[in-house]
Chains A and B, each alone.
Chain A
């Protein structure tokens, strides 16, 4: 398998989407997963604990300067952008919102594309703005794999549609098939 990390961007309807995908992945799934979910600034992270309880993988908030490890699912903290450093650790920033969002999917995806280049999988899920479209295009341009949730099955189609418009995506998948795809990639 050539891939080394997965980044996921998700907005409205995101909790449901993650509840569908993440519990299907086994505890020894070998790729780290890094997620930007748009949240209100004052969100308290209780939902991360709830998600962690139903998943084999460790679901946790990404910590500043923490090194990315396999078997973990990292979620961007509310009100900070999440970036990936060349040494594969996390950085946080309080820079201005991008696409009205902080954390912004584009910010994570672009920095991840710099670091992982063609060893990165980017996924855009349900959401109601266009954040992540540019970032996914960057991933694709760097040789990575671009996956998008089928707008027809997404709770809110706008974000998948914007991503499909912005780049030639590798595959459009129904929400319930995404975990299978990720398992297949890992086994290949």
Chain B
């Protein structure tokens, strides 16, 4: 099949990025990649995608810039408050039956949602027996997540999200303000393990009770989505819980029938015994 020039250029660029640096975006949704590349071309005044390829092969700092362009995803605390309400209502009672709880937050980016989960677990009295593995392949984002420093201007929206999501205290209980930034309380960080893990190329690293991976899979094509779903399925204990983003589903994966729907609207799934009905 004949492809357009930009399509060919993007394929070659992603191949070069993979061969030279090991970061594999080849199975990412092409429309996103095209958009981010075209933003970079405007910012850096670059005329063609081929020129970007030339630059990433010969200029390491430009390559790391492009990696950030391709990987940054926007996140917020208590994004989709009704999801957090449903976690409190339907997921927490199940987690309470375990003496220790392992949670994998896959694709945690700069950590806002991992801190949200830590706060929720605290309020539900489960934090001390929980470990949150918060992973991402983007080292810069992970570093920021670990620091737990966020812009003060976002806190108004996060507070509103937190309250709509069933928050029991005041969100400001969990951070200290300094000038235009806030620092998350160290007690929230105690049981969070920040780790580099790439959903595209890495394998299962732990057996967990709960996986959160929200608004990450939408950036992947069907084949890659399926690979990641396999990873999740193999990581979850029987009866373990999988939480996806509000527009994500198991529909196109091999695991559509391997879970019960715990909450259809919020995309919360419970793994069947060995995936069998």
Contacts and interface: CB of A to CB of B under 8 A. Distances in A.
B102 interface: no
Interface in B150-173: none
A111 B252 CA distance: 23
Contact of A85 (B30, B74, B75, B248): B30
Interface residues of A, number: 21
Interface residues of B, number: 24
Interface string B22-33: 000000011110
Contacts of A64: 218, 247-249
B20 interface: no
Interface in B21-76: 29-32, 34-35, 38, 73-75
B221 to A, nearest CB: 8
A86 B222 CA distance: 14
Contact of B7 (A65, A86, A93, A96): A86
A91 B247 contact: no
B6 interface: yes
Interface stretch (A23-31, A76-84, A124-132, A152-160): A76-84
B29 A83 contact: yes
B174 interface: no
Interface string A57-76: 00000011100000000000
Interface of A: 63-65, 77, 80, 83-86, 91-96, 107, 110-111, 114-115, 117
Interface of B: 3-4, 6-7, 29-32, 34-35, 38, 73-75, 215, 218-219, 222, 225, 245, 247-249, 252
